[in-house]
Amino acid sequence: MKLDNTPFLPPDGNVYVMDSLDPTKKIKVEVLKKRTKQHRDIVESLACPVCGSAMEWNRAWEAFICVKHGKKAIYEIVNEG
């Protein structure tokens, strides 16, 4: 069975990411674009917490990736709790 890695928007609309190079920090990020599928909101684009560039979902990495501020940054969505 294929795992569903779709980046769903949490019910409260707050999205937190973790920098894969610094997993100790949880960063709140701005949702730039979302879409609705089967009554659930899916995050399509997030603002990079460092440079503000739009980051698209990367299915292979299962993360949002920014290449705009120097070193490639990989941000995984984490739960708020």
CB of 18 or CB of 41, closer to Zn ion = 18
Cβ(69)–Cβ(51) below 8 Å: yes
Query: Can you give the binding site for Zn ion, defined by CB under 5 A?
Result: 48, 50-51, 53, 66, 68-69
Shortest distance, position 17 Cβ to Zn ion, whole Å: 12
DSSP three-state, residue 10: coil
Cβ(32)–Cβ(54) below 8 Å: yes
CB of 21 or CB of 51, closer to Zn ion = 51
Residue nearest to Zn ion (CB): 48
DSSP three-state, residue 27: strand
